[in-house]
């Protein structure tokens, strides 16, 4: 299951999520929209979703172990 749900139609490319991601999972594409460059490294900390001003990224809750 995908850890990140990205709604590119809402993304304005502000770079906030890219900056605050501690694992460098996100980047802006050539159109200035976010995408996951390395989703495997995502620790689902939620920092990207927390400060996304555009409601463009959701982090799936961590599965119970």
The residues that touch other proteins, with contacts defined as CB under 8 A, are: 9-10, 12-16, 18-20, 50-56
CB of 39 to other proteins, least distance (A): 21
d(CA 28, CA 21): 13
CB of 49 to other proteins, least distance (A): 9
CB 4 within 8 A of CB 47: no
Q: Given the complex with other proteins, which of 21 and 42 has the nearer CB atom?
A: 21
CB of 31 to other proteins, least distance (A): 13
CB 33 within 8 A of CB 23: no
């Amino acid at each position: 299951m995908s850890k990140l749900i990205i709604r590119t139609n809402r993304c304005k490319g502000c770079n906030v999520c890219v900056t605050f991601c501690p694992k460098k999972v996100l980047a802006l594409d050539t159109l200035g929209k976010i995408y996951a460059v390395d989703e495997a490294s995502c620790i689902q900390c939620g920092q990207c979703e927390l400060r996304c001003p555009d409601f463009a990224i959701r982090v799936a809750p961590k599965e119970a172990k």
